[in-house]
Structure 1
Amino acid sequence: MRRHILSPREDWRAVAADAGYDFHTSEDGHAVWCEDAVYAFTLEQIEQDLEAPTVELHRLCLDLAAEIAESPALMTRLGIPDWAHSLVTRSHRAREPHLYGRFDLAYDGTGPAKLLEYNADTPTALFETAVFQWRWLEDMRASGALPTDADQFNSVHERLLARLVEIRSQIGDALHLTCMTEFPEDRGTVGYLADCAAQAGLKVRLVDVSDIGLRQEGGHQSFIDRGGEPVRLLFKLYPWEWLLRDSFGPAIAASGTTFVEPAWKMVLSNKGILPLLWDRHPGHPNLLPAYFEDDPQKFELGMSFARKPLLGREGANVTIVLDGEVAAVEDGPYAGNGYVRQALAPIPEFNGRRVVIGSWVVGDKPAGMILREGAGPISNDTSQLVPHFIAP
């Protein structure tokens, strides 16, 4: 695993515009995409140190989800409201299909890769991984900047199409997709998935979250869009914990709508799975010791650890403690949801940049990866996405 400095494509912004990638720079001018550098891996590192652990971690998470879905006590431990327990249980028993997720891994080229957290419900950076990173590789090979036989761990697009075909065969061919469209990254991610779904033969309709309403007919409630069309199958880039909190949340169970990601996936988008996984698989090479904040065993971690909220995104409300002193902290809106403590994993540093690997699962198969790097020990909304290649 090496970090190389490369000259960016002179026309990469024009290429981005042509691809519909209009959220590569944030509204405050922060560059989300970075191709001033690239990470190189050997095929052995990809297959043995990253792909294989992704398969293993996905298996462990599915086993844990099955256990939690049948345990009101565990769902309560994760902060899931009592009234939503049956929603999770029914969703899992019905085997409602899931689409994708992203494991965030600490890996320095030697292994074993360590699970930092699992973005199981609303992960972004999907378009950048599947489309723009691959286009970068093609352009670099064509220009001679990379060998013509350089490869990439990236079958995300193909696996998304195949998985959406499977979902269409199980559920139906009409798909609504929703997010808070005022956010460019969310809008871009959902737009890309809508394109994939159309290629997979689904009839797609993009709607803002606020454009979904609740229709009451007799004693039955159902979700509809602004045109009055029933929402039977809904992909939502909108966290389950927000759905449960919204006024329409209690209507979900009887609505007849199938959600992607399904309700059972909410248990895996919760960082409470970190201590639960460690409790069930102590010493596993791809797991870090972790405990709930109210568990006295947390003191086994000593004076150095990461403190993370059960529900949180992009590093918000994460604190890094090193030798009893706060080394880094991120503010955020998730302080009231409970916390876990996790042992620190050494995040590799290259040229002053610390990098975390995002390893994708689509359906039940590993599909590719993207790297996110930043200057500090906590990956946050200022971190940048960086491409990779497999050296011949």
Structure 2
Amino acid sequence: MRRIAAGAVRPGWRELIAAQGLVYNETPGPDGEPVLYWREGPFYDFTAAEVESLHTDAEALFEMCVAAGDHILENGLLGRLGIPEFTWEQVARTWYDDDTGPGGRSRGDFSPSVYGRFDVRYDGGRPQLLEFNADTPTALPESAVIQWYWHQETAQGKDQWNAVHERLVDAWQRNIGRLRQARPHLPTPLTIHFACDGADDTGEDLFNTEYLMETARQALEPLGYRVKFLWMSEIGAGDPATDDHFYDADLERIHVIFKLYPWEWMNDDRFARRCFRDMGDPLRDSTVWIEPPYKMMWSNKGLLPVLWQLFGDDPARRDLLLPAYFEDERPAWLTSYVRKPLLGREGANVSIVVDGETVLSNQGPYGGPYVCQAYAPLPTFPDEQGARWHPVLGVWMIDGEPAGLGIRESAGPVTDNLSHFVPHTIDYIG
């Protein structure tokens, strides 16, 4: 892996990416000046062998996360992860609903999952998991579409690791097909709703949601399905005494809905318990939420110490992890670590401790509990002006399989909301 600091710059590139949908390219910086999210010019280049290795290791990480999910449920660790008790039954049900083999624990249902993103540290060796954005990962359209157009329009590199769009279309077809088999009572034509939080005024959540809706439209409309957008605030419910079902603003029943809205936020909403009571319908005449509740086990930093407990002594797979512990179990020898809240975003409330001294502490709205993950500084790539950039690789997992790569880089050691998206190539000759 190398960083090409001075690649081609397309004339009018700001207008190009805005026309392609990336309307959230500017973020106010600490000094009030806008910080550009998209990097035009620099890019990262990989060998084909590196991409093949990343693909293989991402497959292994996913298998490890599946083992961790089993371990969490079999050992009663949902409370340790801060997951509310009223959700536990449906976390377990949606986890086991695809367990259909001999001795499987499925109840004859199916809970679709479309995507997730591993964020990893990578220096050319084996990737090391920093976290699993398994519930509401963003940066999807810039990974799947914007950087692909960049690759085509600049003709840099032989290829790009990017099958995200095609894999999403396939994932919608497979998952909704499986869902209809599991729930034959679903109406025809069936509407798949898509929702996000209207409070986000940057347009990022909306663009990510609309992009996913477009991939579903391409996949499902030829098969007779419909897609429909609504805001989370427009979701309504019937009388709890007679009808727990959910409806959109047009009073159309919501049978299946993708929500770019974290489960931990939903759990605090006024209809949270009604939502999980609805999912408990024994006949499954209930709303299907994508991503499913079991993603609360993966989109939680508590996954990291569980993985280390399971695989820290595994010589074949321990290199994919960094030692991690719940804060109250941190061993005395771990004196250099990153302290992360179980539920946090964009680097908020993250601290870096080196040799027992706190060297960085980000503020934010998230509280504990916390996990402590061994500190391994991100690789550093200086540019021609002497600035130092630290990339985090986002490996997209579509329908449980590695499908592509998106890279964010930051000027500091923590990837935050002022980081930049940087495109990539394979086998650039320059």
Letter in 2 for 1:263: P
Question: Contact conserved, 1:211 with 1:225, CA < 8 A, in 2?
Answer: yes
Verify: 1:269 aligned to 2:270, yes or no: no
**Partner residue, 2:255:** 232
Verify: 1:339 aligned to 2:353, yes or no: no
Flag structure 1 segments of 5+ consecutive residues without an equivalent: none
Letter in 1 for 2:141: F
Cα distance, 1:70 vs structure 2: 4.3
Cα distance, 1:299 vs structure 2: 2.1
Q: TM-score, normalised by structure 1?
A: 0.93
* Identical pairs, percent: 41
TM alignment of 1:60-79, pairs within 5 A: 60-71=64-75, 73-79=76-82
**Distance in structure 1 (CA, Å) of the matches to 2:136 and 2:275:** 18
Cα distance, 1:354 vs structure 2: 0.8
Question: Contact conserved, 2:86 with 2:276, CA < 8 A, in 1?
Answer: no
Per-residue CA deviation, residues 242-284 of structure 1 (Å, 9 max, x unaligned), is 1111110001123211111001111100100100000011141
Letter in 2 for 1:381: N
**Distance in structure 2 (CA, Å) of the matches to 1:299 and 1:179:** 43
**Distance in structure 1 (CA, Å) of the matches to 2:70 and 2:289:** 18
Letter in 1 for 2:2: R
Tell me which of 373, 379, 386 is aligned to 2:415: 379
What value does the CA root-mean-square deviation take over the aligned residues? 1.5
Cα distance, 1:326 vs structure 2: 1.7
Cα distance, 1:327 vs structure 2: 1.8
Verify: 1:22 aligned to 2:23, yes or no: yes
Letter in 2 for 1:174: T
Verify: 1:47 aligned to 2:56, yes or no: no
**Distance in structure 1 (CA, Å) of the matches to 2:66 and 2:47:** 29
Question: Contact conserved, 2:136 with 2:260, CA < 8 A, in 1?
Answer: yes
**Distance in structure 1 (CA, Å) of the matches to 2:306 and 2:364:** 24
Per-residue CA deviation, residues 213-246 of structure 1 (Å, 9 max, x unaligned), is 1112753311111110111111111100111111
Question: Contact conserved, 1:178 with 1:207, CA < 8 A, in 2?
Answer: yes
**Partner residue, 2:128:** 114
Question: Contact conserved, 1:328 with 1:378, CA < 8 A, in 2?
Answer: no
Question: Contact conserved, 1:78 with 1:267, CA < 8 A, in 2?
Answer: yes
Flag structure 2 segments of 5+ consecutive residues without an equivalent: 99-110, 181-189, 279-285, 383-387
**Distance in structure 1 (CA, Å) of the matches to 2:242 and 2:159:** 57
**Distance in structure 2 (CA, Å) of the matches to 1:104 and 1:70:** 26
Question: Contact conserved, 2:409 with 2:420, CA < 8 A, in 1?
Answer: yes
**Partner residue, 1:102:** 117
**Distance in structure 2 (CA, Å) of the matches to 1:377 and 1:179:** 30
Question: Contact conserved, 2:337 with 2:352, CA < 8 A, in 1?
Answer: yes
Deviates more, 1:218-227 or 1:380-389: 218-227
TM alignment of 1:342-381, pairs within 5 A: 342-351=373-382, 352-381=388-417
Q: 1:47 to 1:219 in 2, by over 3 A?
A: same
**Partner residue, 2:282:** none
Per-residue CA deviation, residues 314-338 of structure 1 (Å, 9 max, x unaligned), is 1111101112222222111111x30
Tell me which of 306, 313, 316 is aligned to 2:348: 316
**Partner residue, 2:333:** 300
Letter in 2 for 1:9: R
Q: Report the secondary structure of 1:250's partner residue.
A: helix
Verify: 1:251 aligned to 2:282, yes or no: no
Deviates more, 1:198-207 or 1:19-28: 19-28
**Distance in structure 2 (CA, Å) of the matches to 1:122 and 1:248:** 19
Cα distance, 1:362 vs structure 2: 0.3
Deviates more, 1:9-18 or 1:369-378: 9-18
Letter in 2 for 1:112: R
**Distance in structure 2 (CA, Å) of the matches to 1:318 and 1:27:** 21
Tell me which of 87, 92, 98 is aligned to 1:89: 92
**Distance in structure 2 (CA, Å) of the matches to 1:9 and 1:182:** 33
**Partner residue, 2:385:** none
Cα distance, 1:68 vs structure 2: 2.2
**Distance in structure 2 (CA, Å) of the matches to 1:273 and 1:288:** 12
Letter in 2 for 1:318: V
Tell me which of 192, 195, 218 is aligned to 1:178: 195
Q: 1:182 to 1:81 in 2, by over 3 A?
A: closer
Q: Report the secondary structure of 1:220's partner residue.
A: coil
Question: Contact conserved, 1:174 with 1:233, CA < 8 A, in 2?
Answer: yes
Q: Report the secondary structure of 1:300's partner residue.
A: coil
Question: Contact conserved, 2:27 with 2:418, CA < 8 A, in 1?
Answer: no
**Distance in structure 1 (CA, Å) of the matches to 2:4 and 2:232:** 41
Q: TM-score, normalised by structure 2?
A: 0.85
**Distance in structure 2 (CA, Å) of the matches to 1:254 and 1:272:** 26
Q: How many residues align?
A: 380
**Distance in structure 2 (CA, Å) of the matches to 1:299 and 1:387:** 40
